[in-house]
Amino acid sequence: MGIKERQERDREAVRRSILDAARDLFVAEGFQNVSIRKIAERIEYSPAAIYGYFPSKDDIFFALAEEGFHLLGDPQGVRDDPRFRDAPPLDRVRAVFWRLYEFSRDQPQYFALMFVDRSVPRISREYERFAFAREGKQHIIEEIQAAMTAGALPATLNPTVAMRALMVGVLGVAVVCLSDRLAPGEDADLLAADVLNLTLTGLRSGVVLQSTGVNPCPLEIVPVADAQAS
């Protein structure tokens, strides 16, 4: 290994340690309560050294959020999955939101940081960086639209509102699980499946949705805590 390669490897290792320490601290103490100095102390570096990798605390969050979205995966991947390639459209819709629940279960720190902490910066500030996340949102809407075209969902349904209803249901189960509010012996996986099935059944019934689904921002991930407070 040459000197340049070793330097790049060492730099990446430090960057990784910064992100891991920041993620742990952000989740444990809340984003707004963590300083660059505190992150530096955790990894036994100077604050100046941290700034050599990330210009600000916000940039550390954006790097973690980007990792989180990649861990969550592209909803279009469900369409390419051999298990769902020829599946009914409604099964693909269910699979997309089940993947979101699995993300909350398997990556609770990323989920908490991206969807629960109300003090984190708005991802919409990094418009270009998170273009892939906006595209993922559009893929979900397209899956719901495909289910409408196939007659599995009413043609009068607003696909954006349907997406929000399904997402809020799954996120609700995830937060209950994350905050350790499950009843004794309650199975979070079964509860998430029930919520998905109930929401899809309601949408299939043609229930009139009152929400308009209007969102002025092209990408605005609203933490669950904010949604519950509004």
Q: Is residue 182 over pLDDT 70?
A: yes
- pLDDT, average across residues 107-113: 96
Q: Is residue 220 over pLDDT 60?
A: no
Please give the full DSSP string across 136-199, using - where no structure is assigned: HHHHHHHHHHHHHHTTSS-TT--HHHHHHHHHHHHHHHHHHHHTT-PPTT--HHHHHHHHHHHH
Q: If pLDDT is split at 50, 70 and 90, which confidence band does 216 have? A: very low
d(C-alpha 42, C-alpha 13), whole Å: 15
Say what the pLDDT of residue 215 is. 52
d(C-alpha 22, C-alpha 56), whole Å: 12
- Could you tell me how far CA 115 lies from the centroid of its own chain? 6
CB burial class (10 A; 0-12, 13-18, 19+) of residue 133?
buried
Whether domain 64-229 has CATH 1.10.357.10: the reply is yes
Whether domain 3-55 has CATH 3.40.50.720: the reply is no
Q: If pLDDT is split at 50, 70 and 90, which confidence band does 218 have? A: very low
Q: 5, 121, 13: which is closest to 66 by C-alpha?
A: 121
| pLDDT: which is higher, 79 or 30 | 30
Q: Is residue 214 over pLDDT 60?
A: no
Q: If pLDDT is split at 50, 70 and 90, which confidence band does 80 have? A: confident
Which pTM does this prediction carry? Answer: 0.85
- pLDDT, average across residues 62-91: 85
> 24-33 pLDDT, tens per residue?
999 999 999 9
- pLDDT, average across residues 65-84: 83
Which amino acid is it at 178? Answer: L
Q: Is residue 221 over pLDDT 70?
A: no
Q: What are the residue ranges spanned by the domains of the chain?
A: 3-55, 64-229
Say what the pLDDT of residue 223 is. 47
Say what the pLDDT of residue 175 is. 96
% pLDDT > 70, the chain:
91
Q: Are 143 and 166 in contact (CB under 8 A)?
A: no
Cα separation values, 21 from 13, 40, 50, 60, 71, Å? 12, 9, 11, 10, 18
Cα atoms in the 13 Å half-sphere on the side-chain side of 221: 28
- Joined together, the tokens standing for residue 34 give 């963590």
- pLDDT, average across residues 114-139: 88
Tokens 């905050």, located at residue: 179
Q: Is residue 87 over pLDDT 70?
A: yes
Q: If pLDDT is split at 50, 70 and 90, which confidence band does 51 have? A: very high
d(C-alpha 142, C-alpha 160), whole Å: 10
